[in-house]
Amino acid sequence: MADLSTLPKDWIVISGQFTRKAHTNVYPAIDPTRAENSLTGRTVVVTGASRGIGARGIAPAFVRAGVKAIVLIATKSESVKGVEQELKNINPDVEVLGLGVNISSAEQVAGAWSRINSRYPKVDILVNNAGIETTESEKTHEQDPDIFFRNFVNVKGTHMMTQQFLKASMPWATTSDPARLINMTSSSGWGIWPFLAAYSMSKAAIIHYTTTVAASYAGTVLAIAVNPGLTDTEIVPPVLRAAGFNYNDPALTGSTMVWLVADPARTRFLNGRVLTAEWDVEELVGRKEEITSRNLLTMQLNAKLRVEQFVD
C-alpha cells in the first residue's frame, strides 16, 4: 500500500469531491437553526448515540433543528446519560429517551421499538448511525472469518432498525410526509481499501440497501445514505490516523442530515442515493436534473449494458 503520509492533508476531501465547494464545517445552507431546516414537532431515533458522530454531531444538530423528541440508542442506556444532559443544555424542552439496545439482536430491537412506539406513535426520522470496524489485516488469507463478519452487524443492525421503523411508519407515511431514513455509510464503500476490507464491504451493502428501500416504497419513504468523510472517532483505523489527514467537524454530518430530512420535496431527487457530507447542498440542488437523468450517486456496474448496443 502507498505511503498515505505523503499525500496532502486534505486528500480525503479533494479525492472524493463531487461539488466545486467542499466543506469540513457547518455552513449557512445546512445551519439547523434556519427556518427552512426546522424539524419542529418531529421525533427522531438515532443509533450509535453515546459517542462519536452520533453524540457530537447528529443528536445535537437535530435538537438545534427543534425536534420535539429524540430517542438515543446505544448498547448500554447509561452511556447516553451525558449526551442527554448536553441535549437538554441546547433545548431544555426537548424530550429525550435513552435506550440500551444491542442492534444485532432482533429481540432487543423489537423490544426497543415497542417502547418507542408506545411513547411516540409517530417517529418521523430514523438515523442508522451505529457501526463497528474490526478488519485485522489487509490480506484475505490472514483474516479470521468471525472477526471479518462482525463488521456485518453494520448491515444487520441497519436492516432490523429500519424494518421496525417502517412497520411503525406504514399507517401514516405519505408522499407529502414520508418516513425519513438516513443510513450512515463510508467512502470506503466505493473505494478500494484493503485494510478496511470487511468494513468497506458492509458499507457498500448499506449504499445499495438504501437504494433498494427507496425503490420498495412509492415515494412514501425518503431513504438516503450519507458518508461523513473522515471524522475523528474511535473507529478511525491506525493507518489513516497516522497519515495525519484533516478531520471534519462532526456537526457537518449532523447538520447535513437535518437538511436532508427537513424538506422532503427539496431532497426527493436524492432518494435512494448516497452523498458525502462535504459536498455543497446548494450545488447538489443545482445539479438535480443531471443526477436524476444519469442516475448518479448510486452503486452500479461500470459497463455499457442492453442488447440495443449490438444492433447495427
Catalytic residues: 199, 203
Residue 309 to residue 307: CA distance in whole angstroms: 5
Residue 273 to residue 287: CA distance in whole angstroms: 14
Cell numbers representing residue 273 in the block: 442515493
Helix, strand, coil percentages, rounded to 5, for the chain: 45, 15, 40
128 forms beta bridges with 183
Sign of the alpha-carbon torsion through 202, 207, 210, 215: negative
DSSP at 297: S
Residue 221 to residue 180: CA distance in whole angstroms: 6
Cell numbers representing residue 61 in the block: 444538530
Residue 109 to residue 297: CA distance in whole angstroms: 30
Cell numbers representing residue 206 in the block: 448499506
Contact 152/198 with Cβ under 8 angstroms?
yes
Cell numbers representing residue 62 in the block: 437535530
Residue 169: CB atoms within 10 Å: 22
Beta strands in 139-220 (DSSP E): 179-184
